[in-house]
Amino acid sequence: MGRVQIFVRTHGPGPGPNLGPMGTHGDPYLNVYVTLHCYALDCASHFLFSPMGTDTLNNPDDMVLIQELTYNNNLKQRWLEHYAPTLSALMFNIKGRYAAISKDYILKQSQQTTPSKATLISRWQSRSDTLQNIQMAAECMDHMSAGIDTTGDGLCFLMHELSLPRSQHVQHRLREEFIQNPNAWLDMLPYLDAVIKEGLRLFPPIPMSLPRCVPAGGRLISGYNIPGGSVVSCQAFSMHRLDESLFPDPKKYNPERWIEEKGLVERNRMFFSFAAGGRGCIGRHLATIEMKIVLEEIYSKFTTSVALEMDGDMFINDQIIASRPKDQTCLIKFTLY
């Protein structure tokens, strides 16, 4: 059964592998913070190692990976390890190493001998004359880390927003688009695209500054002469909000702004959730299609609302290089159409 079908079955009424506790009114609800991260891990690990990717939505044994990767403060820890190695070594001696299970998992999977041809590890292995095993494993670790919290958190913020009473009309318009275009490629659906883009605009999973070093000789940037060696940066959070002529009412979730023709070229140029240029996100297309597939499966069959039991804080919590919902909990109720 496909990953998305499992996800949807998991959320639907009736027996399912991870069906959450019942709501106070007998309606099933689920902590989508967990399941969306599971979905992102399963997608990323299959892109890397298929057929040996994880199966967290079906196999509770794989859940340990997601617990380790998303519930620890691993981004802060990695940052500390890089910038303050002595302090971090001391801390890990006290608290134990982080990401130990996922490192073992990656090392094991990157040595498998029969990966599917479409996987990243297969591509790396075909260049094994120039790459050592540990280098291939390190590349895969980068992709897995880069592809879980970003997609999982982005989807979680978005589903929470869509499930609020103020966004019910967005769900209905999405469903209309699916009904009217039953055989269309998901990339041909402009409203679906707008819903996702607006989610990533308002809740960019990497909202903070992305530093870049100005090359030798300096550069003219926006009319300013910046000397070589200076560090400059842009950040999605500000780029998506500051120019109110492009983004009127910037704190409002409003997918229609991505349909409006006037200013669209400029708005797209300001869209910075995946960064831009040579070091921009190389998982952008994978992440986008993952998001489109899961939204189509959910919102063509269900409406969602925030469960009455939801008391988690969805505030964007700073993880230094990324962000996530503060309480790492998002209880969503699913109702069949």
Q: Which residues are annotated as a binding site for heme?
A: 281
Gap between the Cα atoms of 34 and 18, Å rounded: 10
Between residues 29 and 47, which has the closer beta carbon with respect to ligand HEM? 47
Phi and psi for 117 in degrees, rounded to 5? -60, -25
Instruction: Give the shortest CB-150-to-ligand HEM separation in angstroms.
Output: 3
Annotated binding-site residues read 281
Classify residue 130 as exposed, middle or buried by CB count within 10 Å of its CB (0-12, 13-18, 19+): exposed
Residue corresponding to tokens 């292995």? 125
Q: How far is the CB of 225 from ligand HEM (least distance, A)?
A: 24
Nearer to ligand HEM, 107 or 210 (CB): 210
Dihedrals φ, ψ of 111, to 5°?
-100, 5
Q: Give Cα 60 distance to the centre of its chain.
A: 21
CB of 210 to ligand HEM, least distance (A): 4
Minimal distance, residue 22 CB to ligand HEM, in Å:
31
Tell me the helices (H) and strands (E) count for the chain, helix number first: 13, 9
Nearest to ligand HEM of 154, 325 (CB atom)? 154
Nearest residue (CB) to ligand HEM, 223 versus 278: 278
Output the six-digit token pair for 333.
């109720």
Task: Tell me whether residue 29 or residue 274 sits nearer to ligand HEM (CB atom).
Answer: 274
Q: Which residues bind ligand HEM (CB under 6 A)?
A: 44, 47, 142-143, 146-147, 150-151, 154, 205-206, 210, 273-275, 279-283, 286-287
Q: What is the DSSP string of 23-78?
A: PTTS-BEEEHHHHHHHHHHHHHHHHHHTTS---TTT-GGGHHHHHHHHHS-HHHHH
Q: Which residue is nearest to ligand HEM (CB)?
A: 283
Q: For ligand HEM, which is the closer residue by CB, 41 or 310? A: 41
Nearest to 112 by CA among 84, 143, 76, 137: 137
In angstroms, give the least distance from the CB of 291 to ligand HEM: 7
Give the pair of three-digit tokens for residue 177. 């688009």
CB of 292 to ligand HEM, least distance (A): 12
Shortest reach from residue 258's CB to ligand HEM, in Å: 16
Minimum CB distance to ligand HEM smaller for 167 or for 323: 323
* Bridge partners, 101 (sequence order): none
DSSP 260: -
d(CA 309, CA 305): 11
